[in-house]
Chain A
Amino acid sequence: MRIRTFEYFVREALSSLRHNGLMSIASVSTVALSLLILGMFLIMVLNLNHMASALESQVQISVYLQDNLGDRDMREVGTRITKIPGVVQVTFVDKDEALTRFKQRLGEQQGLLAVLGDTNPLPNAFEVKVDKPESVKPVAQAVAQLKGVENARFGQEIIEQLFTLTRLIRLIGLALIIFLALAALFIIANTIRITVFARRKEIGIMKYVGATDAFIRWPFVIEGMILGSAGSLIAVFLLVEAYTVLTEQIYQKLVFLPLIPKYPFLNYISILLVVAGTIIGALGSTISLRRFMKV
């Protein structure tokens, strides 16, 4: 393609964008809205994943001991745990301390424990910290094999719940994204159809003088791409602003919530959205040209 031809395509595309004023604005807004929501879900899902793995790295293993162990046996178990590769710290929590902690956690509802009378159903335990998240599972399994250990648990449930939540949000997000992408596609196709209609005379002449179909189509495809990428740029702008505010707020108030840092995370999201918007635009015009103009 000659540079001059490309200039011609862009000029034609821009002039018909101007010509379609209101319709162009409607298309850009729809694309912007769709991609905004797409971006929001993407950021949410990625952050939840991020949190899940951050939590995973913090978890410790609770090792519950059998009831009938004497002090010597318990110390023996402690020593064995220390020798397992990946273990960095082992703390003993006796059953009385465990009960006290449990009571504290129950707070006002301590009354519930009255039924226990003087008995303490909680076992003696060790709390084990490991060097890296990947070590949690193998260490827990190794500990569970030790003689005198009742069982070994780690915060598996919380993490799995978080992942379930992520999956759910991903599913809802996906459905919504497909729906909105189709809406964006539809409105772009419609805008291009109006452009095609407005230019049918010109298109007719182009055909009579021997313009190829590709040549006739390009300005419309470019118009669609401009609509799509303009919409995506608006979405990107809003997302970046919102995420900036959000991260600042959260760092001030909820220090422990680990959000993904802006850079380079938002760069990837932005590139992705702009590419998606441009593709939606090109696709929208292609569909329209297929359906409404036999060129």
Chain B
Amino acid sequence: MIHMAGVSKIYASGLVALDDISIAIEKGDFVFLVGPSGAGKSTFVKLLFREELPTSGTIYVNGRDVAGLEPSEVPYLRRGLGIVFQDFRLLPNKTVYENVAFAMEVIEAPRREIQKRVNHVLDLVGLRHKARTYPAHLSGGEQQRVAIARAIVNNPAVVIADEPTGNLDPDTSWEIMKIFERINKNGTTMVMATHDKMVVDGMKKRVIAIEQGRIVRDQEGGQYGYEN
């Protein structure tokens, strides 16, 4: 599903964010990326959806050579991915329903399909009853659930999340993780960068620890391993 070989990322400033990373994440895996601030977790995640290009090495995601893609092929890579951010990134002038539908509209899905899928994923995140609400009238946890609904509405093979619970309290974080777990149970691969010790320790999934751009630990059912 995700294969990296000898991947390095050196930013224009000369900073080495990732240093010779090789890793395989298979279909249905649930992976936490952990590590200190500035370790390179966000950089790792950005390479997967080609927000950044690696300086060297090869990356395969869903069978695509990510670094070798033409710019015009990037949208098709991203259609196979669901991306969730710490700051939700909802559109304030669209309702919950419209925010989720937007992800299908921009890839020109048929209207009937959009209705069916949007209602389905809103059910999945437990927000069908808030479909007509605007993001400003939602709690942080609810907003993140909308963002997750949007990320999965196009049935991606991989969901990539960068600190999705970073702005949420523990209970709400746990709700979000339950949703991710359900998505993962349906066969979707999960890659999540996080600082959330409680979440990592509670979920008992595969943990990849990065420090100074190198993988220092890769463990099934692992612990967070740092003090908060």
Interface residues in chain A, defined as those with a beta carbon under 8 Å from any beta carbon in chain B: 2, 4-5, 8, 201-202, 204-213, 215-216
Cβ of B78 under 8 Å from chain A: yes
User: Measured between C-beta atoms, what is the minimum distance from B154 to chain A in Å?
Assistant: 7
Given the known A-B contacts A201-B89, A204-B89, are A209 and B108 also in contact in the complex, defined by CB atoms under 8 Å? Answer: no
Q: By the criterion CB–CB under 8 Å, are B105 and A8 in contact?
A: yes
Q: Are A211 and B89 in contact, with the CB atoms below 8 A?
A: no
Q: Return A85 CB to nearest CB of chain B, in Å.
A: 68
Cβ–Cβ contact B107 & A209, under 8 A: yes
Q: List 12 interface pairs A-B (beta carbons < 8 Å), by A numbering.
A: A2-B108, A5-B105, A201-B91, A206-B102, A207-B75, A209-B103, A210-B75, A210-B107, A211-B106, A212-B72, A215-B108, A216-B106
Given A2-B108, A8-B105, A215-B108: A209 touches B154 (CB 8 Å cut-off): yes
Q: Is B209 an interface residue (CB 8 A)?
A: no
Return the chain B residue nearest A15 by Cβ: B93
Given A2-B108, A4-B111, A206-B106, do A212 and B89 touch, yes or no (CB 8 Å)?
no
A215-B106 in contact (CB<8A) = yes
- In B91-110, which residues have CB < 8 Å from any A CB? 91, 102-103, 105-108
A205 touching B91, Cβ below 8 Å: yes
Residues of B within 8 A of A204 (CB): 89
C-alpha spacing A213/B79, complex, angstroms: 14
Q: How far is the CA of A205 from the CA of B107 in the complex (A)?
A: 12
A209 touches B102 (CB 8 A): yes
Q: Tell me if A205 and B79 are in contact (CB < 8 A).
A: no
Bound form: Cα–Cα A207–B81 in Å: 12
Interface: B44 (CB within 8 A)? no
Does the CB pair B91–A209 fall under 8 Å?
Answer: no
Q: In the bound complex, how far is the Cα of B107 from the Cα of A211, in angstroms?
A: 6
Q: How far is the CA of A4 from the CA of B104 in the complex (A)?
A: 12
Interface size on B, residues (CB 8 A): 21
Whether B117 is near chain A, meaning CB under 8 Å from some CB there, is no
Asked whether, in the complex, the Cβ of B78 is within 8 Å of the Cβ of A208, the reply is yes
Taking a contact as CB atoms closer than 8 A, the residue among A205, A213, A215 that contacts B89 in the complex is: A205
Who on chain B is nearest to A208 by CB? B83
Across-interface contacts of B102 in A (CB, < 8 A): 205-206, 209
Residue B11 CB within 8 A of the other chain: no
Among A8, A205, A209, A212, residue most surrounded by chain B Cβ atoms (within 10 Å): A209
Interfacial chain A residues near B105, Cβ < 8 Å: 5, 8
Q: What are the 4 A-B residue pairs with the smallest beta carbon separation, nearest first?
A: A210-B79, A211-B106, A210-B78, A209-B103
Q: Are A5 and B108 in contact (CB under 8 A)?
A: yes
Q: Check A210 against B108 for contact (C-beta < 8 Å).
A: no
- Which of B72, B76, B91, B111 is the one whose CB lies under 8 Å from A210? B76
A11–B178 alpha-carbon span in the complex (Å): 38
Report if B150 contacts A (CB, 8 A): yes
Shortest Cβ gap from B53 to chain A (Å):
13
The answer for the CA separation of A2 and B111 in the assembled complex, in Å, is 11
Q: Smallest distance from the beta carbon of A288 to chain B beta carbons, Å?
A: 19
Give 8 A-B pairs besides A8-B105, A209-B154, A216-B106 with Cβ atoms closer than 8 angstroms.
A202-B91, A204-B89, A205-B91, A206-B106, A208-B89, A210-B79, A210-B81, A211-B75
Q: How far is the CA of A208 from the CA of B107 in the complex (A)?
A: 11
The chain B residue with its CB closest to the CB of A202 is: B91
In the bound complex, how far is the Cα of B106 from the Cα of A8, in angstroms? 9
